[in-house]
Amino acid sequence: RIALRRMPSIRQTLQEMGVKVREVFPELRRGTRRGGDGPRNGTAPTPLTNYLDISIGTPAQTFKVVFDTGSANLWVPSYKCSPLYSACVSHSRYDASKSRTYIANGTGFAIRYGTGSVKGVLSQDIVMVSDIPIVQVFAEATALPAFPFIFARFDGVLGMGYPSQAIDGITPVFDRILAQQILQEDAFSVYYSRNAPLKPGGEIILGGSDPAYYTGDFHYLNVSRSGFWQISMKGVSVGAEMLFCREGCSVAVDTGASYITGPAGPVSVLMRAIGAREVAEGEVSARPAGPAPPLLPGPVPALSPPLQFVVDCEQVPQLPNISFHLGGKVYGLSGPAYVLRQAQYGEDVCVVAFSGLDIPPPAGPLWILGATFIGHYYTKFDRRHNRIGFAAAR
């Protein structure tokens, strides 16, 4: 069992500093188009505010990492990272020279992001996840882009995806744990607390689930794309009307994402259907919702959208349900479930937790269910049977 810690997201950190996202990332201004082949694993561009602690080395060096089902590698900043990379200096760094169980590998490693690449070298050491020690090959990041990582409160990323997603063919952490045959089930479950002041922010259970976190039974869907935590969806409804995905579509269930993400066009239509307005970062004057701009490509969450969809806070209780049709069941979210009340630059703003992101083939088009959804539906990732289960969260 692993407790999750709730911490400020990159967006919240910027707001505390009085800095607007679009001032830090000029390429995110409206109308800017970026090339590239899009996200390598289809995660939404909004960071989780829940992180977990792991340790690497002997004696243990502790790191805060994002738990990400949309990727399959473990990386943390390295002590070898030059002070010129300010994002390295502001985070915990792995020092191989202080670990007596370190084994050099030296193979180069890189993950591409929209604002640059995380680069480094592979190393091997003992990694402790919860109380489970494993011998793990991981990446020491020796080059870390200042933006957005200098604003991130997490140190690195722990990928929980399938081995086929792993860069350089590295066996993922969870597969190393499975090989020890110590878990009750070849599965893990994720619970996110919806009570903002509550600590911890949730819990990850390796090897099963906890009935205290859900009511009723789990309902399972087989993964629709081999080697990825993706399933088939049969529709997206607003109120009683099915608006999208009538012919079926793919959806990724991603613990490394906060928002629910869909293709930009349908998300804009959906926002108009609930009466949401589109506002630029830090603005309160509204304009009709239009197509969402393309967002930063990247294999893990980095930044929330530069244009937000907002609603009048007093209207939130009257908003229609938005429902997802999955495996013969309908999973609905009420207005208060998909709207986040945030203080932005001295004002209360009610932000709709949806974003538009066009992921090109073959990975896309793709919908992504992040923490907004998982917080209401306790989620179990079953590797033995290659399926994902949902149950109503308590």
113 touches 95 (CB < 8 A):
no
Helical (H) or strand (E) element with 354: strand 354-356
- The rounded distance, in Å, linking the Cα atoms of 119 and 121 is 7
- Adjacent-strand bridge partners of 278: 287, 309
- Tell me whether residue 186 is one of the annotated catalytic residues: no
User: Which of the following is catalytic: 68, 125, 186, 358?
Assistant: 68
61 touches 94 (CB < 8 A):
yes
- The rounded distance, in Å, linking the Cα atoms of 296 and 26 is 12
User: Which of the following is catalytic: 125, 155, 186, 254?
Assistant: 254
- Tell me whether residue 348 is one of the annotated catalytic residues: no
Q: Three-state DSSP class for 22? A: helix
Q: Tokens 């922010």 — which residue?
A: 201
Angle ∠(116,97,129) on CA atoms, nearest 5: 70
Tell me 155's DSSP state: -
Helical (H) or strand (E) element with 288: strand 287-288
Catalytic site residues?
68, 254
